[in-house]
Amino acid sequence: MKKSLLALAVLGAFAGAAQAQSSVTIYGIIDTGVTYTSKAQTTNAPGVTGINTGSKFAMNSGVIQGSRIGFKGVEDLGGGLSAVFNLETGFNNDNGALNGQDPGTTNLFRRKSVVGLAGGFGSVLLGRQTDWADTISAYTAVADFGGVIQNSGSNLNRLQGVRTNNSISYTTNNLSGFTGNLMYGFGETAGKTSAGQSFGLGGKYDNGPLGLGINYYQSKQGPTPSDTSLLANAAPLSTVVGAANAGASAAKVLNVVASYQFGPARVYGNYSRVKQDLNTVAVTGLTDATRVTGATLGLSKKADMYELGTAYSLTPSLKLLGSVQYTRADFDGLSGKGKLTQFNLGTDYWLSKRTDLYAFVSNLRAKDMKNPGVYADTTGNDASQTAVTVGIRHKF
């Protein structure tokens, strides 16, 4: 009897040690808002002629942060080395559908799918992941307004978080406030390594109230581009994605961001430049007279983006928010510059550490280019659109 009890005690000790050395965490976000949008243009049902334009009420999933569920784990391998993984899928909780699939794919863990090693040297991750622009977006209005501001430029400049397939990244540990990152995406094209490849270099510096960040990302055209933004732009770029352009630079993105905490107020600003060298024929058929109805940021050859904003903590639970985004875009073969300006006001109230209520009002104005709409609802020929959203977010 004593030997049996001793054996059970030893087995229990081993089981406890094994559990202490490895762990898996399930986490997620559910974010849903109700939005009123002025001057919204929506697609009509098949066979219905005319344009369906007017005010619109809608329920939107992932207003500030995309709704998601994820799994992350770590196993202690000894000697300060750990095996790590992270799987994360997005969904629309207003209808239960998977969210944001790459064109022509049915990928499940589309938000993140990585495995790697971590230790005193930093971490190395392999799989599908965002570049460093997603990390330093914590210093920008993306942290407060999320997807509300994506159409004014932060989706194009990658601050909203764009994925890179078939990628490997290295991130240093915190070195006296500095953290650096390197990324490389494989184009997986036989006989031409440069086709579809991408690479990124970034860093951030945290020192008390000061936060600074910089990132550069470049991707190249190819039949299987690692940069998923090229998959999203496949239709407008269909005339330039042929074999003759494989390996040519398709996107070059630079982000410089800064944030400073003045007591209860966080003040921030950033600048981004996006160059899309292959956008030389995508606006064929447009003229300066028709650009307002046809030219979008995704078709621009070069875009410069500026942002200023603040988040003021009125109480520990209540924040008042404000930001302005301004973008100037050049289109090949067209004179002048298209301009987008977005003004945002908002409030965020935390009911607990995991649940908050928010309310936003945004106005997006376009000049000499198409207005993309605050929530991807186009405004036709009208230069201004306003959207008001109230919503709830829960983290688990």
Range in 46-50, 111-115, 179-183, 319-323 the model is least confident about: 46-50
Which pLDDT belongs to residue 114? 98
Cβ neighbors of 9 (< 8 A, separation 6 or more) are none
pLDDT given at position 332 = 87
CA 278 to CA 223: how far, in whole Å?
A: 15
Asked whether the predicted pLDDT for residue 158 surpasses 70, the reply is: yes
114, 120 contact by CB (below 8 A): no
| Candidate from 71-75, 154-158, 284-288, 316-320 with smallest mean pLDDT | 284-288
| Residue scoring higher pLDDT (105 or 118) | 118
Whether residue 49 is predicted with pLDDT greater than 60 in this model: the reply is no
- Domain spans of the chain? 24-395
Answer whether 323's CB lies under 8 Å from 308's CB: yes
**pLDDT for the residue 5:** 41
Identify the band that residue 14 occupies on the pLDDT scale cut at 50, 70 and 90: very low
pLDDT of residue 252: 97
**For the chain, what percent of residues have pLDDT higher than 90?**
71
Tell me which residue has tokens 């219905």.
48
Q: Which range has the worst mean pLDDT, 81-85, 190-194, 376-380?
A: 376-380
Does the structure show a pLDDT above 60 at 280? Answer: yes
Q: What is the pLDDT of residue 46?
A: 60
CATH superfamily of 24-395: Porin (2.40.160.10)
Structure-block tokens of residue 95: 């209808």
Does residue 377 register a pLDDT over 60?
A: yes
Q: Which of 8-12, 119-123, 155-159, 183-187 has the lowest mean pLDDT?
A: 8-12
Q: Average pLDDT for residues 307-314, to the nearest whole number? A: 98
pLDDT given at position 210: 98
Query: Other CB atoms closer than 10 Å to residue 142's CB: what's the count?
Result: 28
